[in-house]
Chains A and B, each alone.
Chain A
Amino acid sequence: MTAMIDLPQAEPAAQAPERKSKAGGSLGKYLLIRFFLIFPTILILVTMVFFLMRLTGDPITAALGGRLAPDQLAQRIHEAGYDRPIFIQYFEYLGQIATGNFGRTISDNLAISDMLATYGTATLELAINSLIVALAIGIPLGMLAAYKRDKYQDAILRVLAISFYATPVFFAGLLLKLVFSIWLGWFPVSGRAGTSTEIAMASLAAPTGIYWLDALRSGNMDAFWDIAQHSVLPAVALGLLTAGIFLRLVRTNVIGTLSKDYVEAGRSRGVSEYRLLTKHAYKPALIPIITVMGLQIALLLGGAVLTETTFEWKGLGFQLAHYLTARDFVAVQGIVALLAVIVAITNFIVDVVAALIDPRVRY
């Protein structure tokens, strides 16, 4: 939720290490250095989680302690190699990751890669849905707020944006459930789809894992309708959180471009205020908006954990909470590694886009 606040220092600092490590030179060199910074980011997060999880003991005791006799427990710990020095285990783990072998979950014995694929697509679907909601709400309202700057509409919209941010996803979800599922009965309370749809989706050959896409591809319109109904409330709950940020972002940037000389010049030529807003001011404002949007991925992933738990949407976040409670270290490390990769790559893309657009970023 960090990026809600646009402190003056926040964005420039994101590029600080690259700027420093680069004293004049070509775009190619900048991109190369920036690319190699992906790896330490992932390594640091994976390392942190590895050692944090080991602070609580070994995975076998954590998962099975109390259910097995002490000698059996010791036997299994020894077999799994968890009684060896932690640094040996750590480097062994790094070696495994490097070769793409993430191991199997302890609690339900799934291959980590399968687990990530199954639940990752569910999270991806939720993220896409909520991004659509956020853009549909945030951009028009942000432009309106910029246009009506310092009038009462602006004040209302700004307070609205802050309220979106101030409302935790699970409370928004609770209110949405109360109003739209319980009192009005329009949408189901939780889940990704009804039972019959779940079965239909599971029996598809070569599914993408994104339900509405699968339903469309197989031409199953009943299933699509069912999925759409299930998607609305989670998408709105998570979407509103991000919509507040987009609203503010669009507002600030459009206000910035609206005050530029060329807009003033357009106004003096008699260009309509509406056209000034939508053509002259909006498009240049998009560049910083897109960059910051990329940085919202962390917020979206954090929000996804809460949304998934609220709506029993079986995605990565839901499973992460579940595996953490079960002390399934291998699964937790796998999920964190995947999320670290996503975050690092998104930030890389954002920086590349920023560098391509604005030469000042790369000096």
Chain B
Amino acid sequence: METKKSLFSRLPVVSQLKKSVGLQRGMLIAGIVMTAAFLLTAALAPLISPYGATQRFNETQAPPSSVHIWGTTAGGYDVFSRTIWGTQTAVLVIVVAVALSIFIGVILGLLSGYIGGWLDRILVVVADAIYAFPTLLLAMVMSIAISQGRSNMWSGIFSAAISITVVFIPQYFRVIRAETIRLKAEPFVESAIVVGASSVRIMARHIYKNATRTLPLIFTLNASEAILTLAGLGFLGFGIEPSSAAEWGYDLNHAQTDAASGIWWTGVFPGAAIVLTVLGLTLLGESMNDLNDPRLRGRKRVGKKKNGPTKDEELVDA
């Protein structure tokens, strides 16, 4: 996956951290910390969690105790272990889904933008149709078509990831296509044509490198969307089977009936895990987005306290 690696190395978190000031820096740091915690938990899941994700116990719906610090579910699963292992499932699905959709979206976007004509029109109409339709509904139909509703860990992860991919491709497609159309008119592309470079070479080298600069941003924002879609699929019962991997959405589905009888621990913890993960990724993505936009970026004020910008000044220079 050459695409992914180069993207990661270009994730411009550091430069943005330097640009930030005050509240924006706080939000960015909060995002970085939460995302790092999420990734660390996923990497260290075997060390952190006391039990396996699919290990079942005889105590069902047991309240939090010293043996099961977050209690157990109706199925006899340890809530703490499942919540921790759930990070791994989430990371895997994000990586597969985003990598696939970037790969396909970028290729289609380059082709559509560079070649234009009928191919472009058809792809745009199709992408717009998919883009406009509710993400989750399409992913539901996709997952039924792919996995027929029953899946083990890897096929579950892939079917969830592919279902999400289909919905994400139009986003990458649109961004890359718009950039490609803009870049096509640039002098360096024209000179490449004059020099005799082939279309493939122009797309692969000249346009690709320039058109993909905005991707890290969408990547971060899409990662949070992928988690929500995965959880939504799991919640509706179209995700990964509980006996093959831990998945937060599925656990929340079963927690609904528990909640009706006052059992809070089966739902609150996986739910909080989703919220914190998505919050971290969104804070990270949003802050980077704002910092890239000079109009939204806060500025350092010379000779004043950093944290106390007056509103009027702020509005004038905005």
Contacts and interface: CB of A to CB of B under 8 A. Distances in A.
Partners in one complex: yes
Interface of A: 1-2, 4-5, 7-10, 12-14, 16-17, 21, 37, 40-41, 44-45, 48-49, 52-53, 55-56, 148-152, 154-155, 158-159, 162-163, 165-168, 170-171, 173-175, 177-178, 181-183, 189-190, 255, 258-259, 264, 295, 298-299, 301-302, 305-306, 309-310, 320-321, 324-325, 327, 332, 336, 339-340, 343-344, 347
Given A5-B285, A163-B275, A174-B267, A17 B132 contact: no
A13 B178 contact: yes
A347 B132 contact: yes
Contacts of A177: 256, 259-260
27 contacts: A1-B225, A2-B171, A2-B225, A5-B218, A13-B178, A41-B125, A48-B138, A148-B311, A150-B22, A168-B275, A171-B252, A171-B274, A171-B275, A174-B252, A174-B271, A178-B268, A182-B259, A298-B134, A298-B135, A299-B134, A305-B134, A310-B256, A325-B237, A336-B141, A340-B133, A343-B133, A343-B134
A182 B268 CA distance: 14
A174 B238 CA distance: 19
A17 B134 contact: no
B278 interface: yes
B275 to A, nearest CB: 5
B178 A306 contact: no
Given A166-B275, A166-B279, A259 B23 contact: no
B64 to A, nearest CB: 15
Contacts of A255: 318
B144 A56 contact: yes
Contacts of B218: 5, 7
Interface string B195-238: 00000000000000000001001100100110011011001111
B134 A155 contact: no
A162 B275 contact: no
A332 B143 CA distance: 14
A208 B128 CA distance: 33
Nearest to A346: B132
Contacts of A165: 278, 282
Contacts of B137: 301-302, 305, 320, 336, 339
Contacts of B264: 178
A166 B285 CA distance: 13
Contacts of B300: none
A189 B145 CA distance: 33
B40 interface: no
A37 B125 contact: yes
B175 A7 contact: yes
Nearest to A172: B271
A13 B174 contact: yes
A310 B73 CA distance: 18
A317 to B, nearest CB: 8
Give the secondary structure class of B's interface.
Answer: helix
Contacts, number: 210
Interface string B14-30: 00000000110011000
Interface of B: 22-23, 26-27, 121, 124-126, 128-138, 140-142, 144-145, 148-149, 167, 171, 174-175, 178, 214, 217-218, 221, 224-225, 228-229, 231-232, 235-238, 249, 252-253, 255-256, 259-262, 264, 267-268, 271, 274-275, 278-279, 282-283, 285-286, 289, 293, 298, 309, 311, 314-316, 318
A155 B174 contact: no
Nearest to A340: B133
B255 A174 contact: yes
Contacts of A37: 125
A44 B149 CA distance: 24
Contacts of A336: 137, 141
Given A7-B218, A310-B256, A175 B132 contact: no
Nearest to B31: A162
B132 A7 contact: no
B139 to A, nearest CB: 9
Contacts of B129: 40-41, 44-45, 340, 344
B279 A155 contact: no
Nearest to B231: A168
B145 A53 contact: yes
Given A8-B293, A344-B132, A168 B140 contact: no
Contacts of A310: 256
Given A16-B124, A336-B141, 18 more contacts: A2-B135, A2-B225, A21-B121, A41-B132, A44-B125, A52-B145, A166-B275, A166-B278, A167-B275, A168-B274, A170-B232, A174-B268, A177-B260, A259-B318, A305-B136, A324-B141, A325-B149, A343-B134
A174 B45 CA distance: 26
Contacts of B274: 166-168, 171
Contacts of B167: 2
Contacts of B214: 7, 9
- Tell me which of B144, B171, B255 has the highest count of chain A C-beta atoms within 10 A of its own C-beta: B144
Contacts of A305: 134, 136-137, 140, 232, 236
